[in-house]
Amino acid sequence: MKSIQSKIFLKDQLIDYFKSLPAFASQENKKKVLLGFSGGPDSMCLMLLLNELKEQLGIELVLAYYNHMLRSEEELSKELSFIRNIADKYDLPLEIGTDSGRIEELSAHIGEEGAARKARYEFFDKAMKKYSCDYLALAHNLDDTIETLVMRFFKGSGIGGMMGIPGQREYIIRPLSSCPKSMILDYVESCGTGYSLDTTNLGTDYLRNRVRNILLPKIREVFPSCTKSLLDFSDKAAMTYRFVREQAARLVVWQNIGDSSFSTSYSNFMSCPDVIKIEAIYSCFDQFAKGQDRELPYRFVRTVLDKKSVRRGALLLKGYGFKIRRHGENLEWYPDKDNYKIYNNRGFSIEKTLLSLCKKDDIWIPVDGVQGELTVRSFENGDYIISSGIRKKLKKIFSEWQVPVELRSSVPIICDNRGVIAVCGSLYGYRNRVSDLIRLENKAGEDREVYILMIRQD
């Protein structure tokens, strides 16, 4: 009985979803849909429903499977065989992609989880062109939305991020976005097709898995109705964000002046409420960094709120690959390509900015105090730092801080050509140590250029 109820609910949700899409209001021409198909319960559920309803919905279905090459060869081989059998059973075209180093290449900039996502979407884009597809269907469900909201909340997302996973974004559609995982599992298990199980989803290596398998169960123990509460909050955030975005677009108009550069009225910008200033900067950054996996931290952007006025020719903001400077009666945004670098592949980046834009707890290093190449790496045996006139081994420092041995390789060590110049313990709740080699006095009236260490949360 429960499985029947789940099937009825899911079919109704799917039909209502497609009715809400203007492109499906008329069925004069069939739409071709590429389905991201992993063989897991979510994509299996979506495939079964779309295949059953394809005449009613007016669609043709193509399956697309991407092998990230991040699991054992035995597990991947079984999964691929299962995928092919399903495609043959339901007589559906199947496009298979295999990672050939793209994820490793991207990981240096956006982490393994983000790299896998980007590589997968690149594959989907190629498959859509190959099969002339109109839409990409993904099997995100209601539980995925809840996980995303929790992650974004604790990572400090703005109200825009708290809208959750959109049910549609341009050509990407998510027909199961309002469907709970429990009903999806009930339905798939009743169909008897079986499904593939990605064992990495059971672990805690990735942030989403830690939220799903550790954090959310604990939250539900205390707040059993947290799903409804989070969805209500997401609705409120969406309404608020739409209003703020519309007001920002009306009050702060960025004109494209070429070469990824933009201009807006200085007086208009400075007279706006703080929330509009922040949104105006984010909206311009979206244009500036379009197509790139780059984020702009709130703590960096909010430094503009401390400035009530900016003299002609002075900087309002600098960092993350751009500068905003007052030029006459305008604010001008333009690239600052030499000042955006990522130095390693362990989830840390170093940005060049101004000391006046740093917060009290930021880990910063004066640019003129660095010799040679600046790098971020893990602790190595024999590492030492010269602090307060004393040469001290990092191993001893970690022991004093009581850093567990298994965590020591995660503490960022910043080096230049002379060796260790900073130990960034505060990122994990410990102290920071800065070498005497880079302790420079700030000259009166000088706004010194500094490097700032940022940690990426995948």
Single out the residue in 339, 368, 390 at which a domain terminates: 339
Residue 445 has a pLDDT of 45
Q: 289 φ, ψ to 5°?
A: -105, 25
Residue 361 has a pLDDT of 64
Angle (deg, nearest 10), helices 41-57 and 181-191: 80
Three-state secondary structure call for residue 331: strand
Q: 216 φ, ψ to 5°?
A: -60, -40
Cα separation, 139 vs 143, in Å, equals: 11
Three-state secondary structure call for residue 350: strand
* Mean pLDDT score, 209-233: 92
- Binned at pLDDT 50, 70 and 90, residue 138 comes out as very high
- Binned at pLDDT 50, 70 and 90, residue 232 comes out as very high
Q: Tell me the one-letter amino acid at 448.
A: R
Q: In what order do the strands lie in the sheet with 168-169?
A: 94-98, 59-67, 31-36, 135-137, 172-173, 168-169
Pair 410, 361 in one domain: yes
- Binned at pLDDT 50, 70 and 90, residue 398 comes out as confident
Return the CATH number at 192.
3.40.50.620
Q: Is the pLDDT of residue 342 over 70?
A: no
More confident residue, 158 or 57: 57
What's the distance, Cα to Cα, between the start and end of the chain in Å? 41
- Binned at pLDDT 50, 70 and 90, residue 287 comes out as confident
**Lowest-confidence region among 178-187, 330-339, 443-452:** 443-452
Residue 33 has a pLDDT of 95
Q: What percent of the chain has pLDDT over 70?
A: 88
Residue 174 has a pLDDT of 95
Q: DSSP letters of 249-296?
A: HHHS-PEEEETTEEEEEHHHHHTS-HHHHHHHHHHHHHHHTTTS----
> Cβ(235)–Cβ(247) under 8 Å?
no
Residue 422 has a pLDDT of 86
Q: Is residue 363 part of a domain?
A: yes
Pair 53, 194 in one domain: yes
Q: Is the pLDDT of residue 346 over 50?
A: no
Arithmetic mean of pLDDT over the chain: 84
* CA 75 to chain CA centroid, nearest Å: 27
Q: Is the pLDDT of residue 252 over 70?
A: yes
Q: Is residue 28 part of a domain?
A: yes
Residue 427 has a pLDDT of 65
Tally of domains in the chain: 3
Pair 7, 103 in one domain: yes
Pair 123, 35 in one domain: yes
Cα separation, 294 vs 273, in Å, equals: 26
More confident residue, 121 or 111: 121
Pair 327, 408 in one domain: no
Q: Is the pLDDT of residue 41 over 50?
A: yes
| Residue 330 parent element (H or E) | strand 330-335
- Binned at pLDDT 50, 70 and 90, residue 444 comes out as very low
Pair 267, 131 in one domain: no
Q: What is the pLDDT of residues 65-94, one digit of tens each?
A: 999 888 888 888 999 999 999 999 999 999
More confident residue, 200 or 316: 316
Return the CATH number at 296.
3.30.465.60
Q: Is the pLDDT of residue 28 over 80?
A: no
Pair 127, 88 in one domain: yes
- Binned at pLDDT 50, 70 and 90, residue 343 comes out as very low
Pair 41, 97 in one domain: yes
Pair 308, 367 in one domain: no
Contacts with 449 (C-beta within 8 Å, 6 or more apart), sequence order:
352, 353, 354, 355, 366, 367, 368
Q: Is residue 161 part of a domain?
A: no
Cα separation, 427 vs 376, in Å, equals: 14
Residue 223 has a pLDDT of 94
Q: Is residue 76 part of a domain?
A: yes
Three-state secondary structure call for residue 234: helix
Angle (deg, nearest 10), helices 41-57 and 2-19: 60
> Cβ(370)–Cβ(350) under 8 Å?
no
Pair 52, 191 in one domain: yes
**Lowest-confidence region among 147-156, 208-217, 280-289, 444-453:** 444-453
Closest CA to 76 of 196, 189, 194, 193: 196
Q: Is residue 222 part of a domain?
A: no
Q: Is residue 349 part of a domain?
A: yes
Q: Is residue 308 part of a domain?
A: yes
Cα separation, 21 vs 107, in Å, equals: 35
Closest CA to 142 of 167, 118, 169: 167
Q: In what order do the strands lie in the sheet with 261-265?
A: 255-258, 261-265, 330-335, 322-327, 315-319
Q: Is residue 147 part of a domain?
A: no
Residue 383 has a pLDDT of 87
Total Cβ atoms within 10 A of residue 281: 26
Q: What percent of the chain has pLDDT over 90?
A: 42
More confident residue, 456 or 432: 432
C-alpha pair distances (Å), 154 with each of 270, 278, 347, 456, 457: 30, 20, 18, 13, 10
Closest CA to 61 of 90, 29, 28, 35: 35
228-242, 308-322, 361-375: which has the highest mean pLDDT? 228-242
Pair 351, 256 in one domain: no
Pair 334, 346 in one domain: no
Could you list the residue range(s) of the whole structural domain that residue 56 is in?
A: 2-139+174-202
Residue 299 has a pLDDT of 78
> Cβ(136)–Cβ(34) under 8 Å?
yes
